[in-house]
Amino acid sequence: MIDYHLHTTRCCHATGSLEDYLAEAEKKQLREIGFSDHFPLDLLGVTPRAPVTMEASELEEYIKEVEGLKSLGSNMNIKLGIEIDYIPGTENKLGKLLEQYDFDYVIGSIHYLGDWDFTHPVYADHYQDYDMDSLYDKYFKLLQDACRSRLFDVIGHIDVIKKFGYRPANDLEALYIETARLLRESGTCIELNTAGQDAPVGEFYPDPQLLEVCLSEGVAVTMGSDAHSPEQVGRYFNEAVELLKLSGCRELTVFEQRKRSSIQL
């Protein structure tokens, strides 16, 4: 099993050393892990209300620290990833920035609608100000733009808009199909992200319906725990693999220097 979504203390809301994450991955007998901490928002010209990403000055150190972990001689495959906020209007800037770094893969995530961090528990009551059908539509349209940018290898926690349990009244099948086709056409993968199980919504990202649509449209899949502490590495992976197999998924996508290949699930 692979866990491609691990954070570090640099984002200010995670705990534990990289060695602790590695030790937990070894304990859980994973074959490959990837760190994907939050890319500095200030490099995109965005200042969040509270620090939720590493700072620009920490990026080089982050890269060095992950590279350093590889040289400790573990049998684990260790990859250098990054999780980047998709902020519309920053595509050119981000494209140029990405040329400067040797990431194995780039996860594009949406945590912001305008200046609202809708994934942050402190701002969760703002959901009450919205109509859920239009909010979900807005979120998935933005996600489709993230695919069109072709900046990302993987979309992070694809339906994180459900995190606090607010659901639309309408069926989302058509929106899901449209999104899945864009994912496939742009060569963007999704991740089976198990963190949602521990969020108020209490289920993985994506939900079974969206997962099924993605798989039937031929979208490739990686896995991630979105661990913000060492014991979360590989959380619920047995259940997740079971679900993927039941959904007809036969392989997982892995990355090296942003080149994709697949391994048997």
Which stretches of the chain bind Zn ion, using CB under 5 A? 156, 226
Cis peptide before 206 (omega within 30 of 0): yes
Distance CA 17, CA 131 (A): 41
Tell me: does residue 226 bind Fe ion (CB under 5 A).
yes
Find the residue with minimal CB distance to Fe ion: 109
How many residues touch Fe ion (CB under 5 A)?
A: 4
Which residues 121-140 are close enough to bind Fe ion by CB under 5 A? none
Q: How near is the Cβ of 119 to Zn ion at its closest, in Å?
A: 8
Query: Per-residue string for binding with Fe ion, 28-47, x by CB under 5 A?
Result: --------------------
Q: How near is the Cβ of 75 to Fe ion at its closest, in Å?
A: 25
Which residues 154-183 are close enough to bind Fe ion by CB under 5 A? 156
Q: How near is the Cβ of 205 to Zn ion at its closest, in Å?
A: 9
List the 77-85 sheet strands across, edge first: 2-6, 32-35, 77-85, 105-109, 154-155, 189-193, 221-224
Specify the stretch interacting with Fe ion by CB under 5 A; choose among 65-73, 98-106, 148-156, 161-169.
148-156
Q: How near is the Cβ of 259 to Fe ion at its closest, in Å?
A: 22
Which residues 185-224 are close enough to bind Fe ion by CB under 5 A? none
Pick what 32 binds: Zn ion, Fe ion, none; C-beta below 5 to 8 Å, kind-dependent: none
CB-nearer residue toward Zn ion: 156 or 196: 156
Distance CA 88, CA 234 (A): 31
Any long-range contacts for 24-30 (C-beta under 8 Å, 24+ apart)?
Answer: 24/230, 24/231, 24/233, 24/234, 25/76, 25/233, 25/234, 26/74, 26/76, 28/1, 28/233, 28/234, 28/237, 29/1, 30/1, 30/2, 30/3, 30/76, 30/233, 30/234, 30/237
- Choosing from 109, 179, 193, 194, the residue that interacts with Fe ion (CB under 5 A) is 109
Pick what 234 binds: Zn ion, Fe ion, none; C-beta below 5 to 8 Å, kind-dependent: none
Q: How near is the Cβ of 104 to Fe ion at its closest, in Å?
A: 16
* Cα–Cα distances in angstroms (integers) from residue 172 to residues 129, 132, 156, 225, in the given order: 21, 11, 19, 25
| Nearest residue to 175 via CA among 220, 138, 149, 208 | 138
CB-nearer residue toward Zn ion: 11 or 215: 11
Q: Bridge-partner residues for 224, per DSSP? A: 193
CB-nearer residue toward Zn ion: 156 or 234: 156
CB-nearer residue toward Zn ion: 115 or 131: 115
- Given a contact cutoff of 8 angstroms between Cβ atoms, the answer to whether 195 and 206 are in contact is no
Q: How near is the Cβ of 83 to Zn ion at its closest, in Å?
A: 6
Q: How near is the Cβ of 161 to Zn ion at its closest, in Å?
A: 13
Task: Spell out the residues 6+ positions from residue 140 whose beta carbon is closer than 8 angstroms to its own.
Answer: 161, 172, 175, 176, 178, 179
CB-nearer residue toward Fe ion: 97 or 155: 155
- Contact positions toward Fe ion, by CB under 5 A? 83, 109, 156, 226
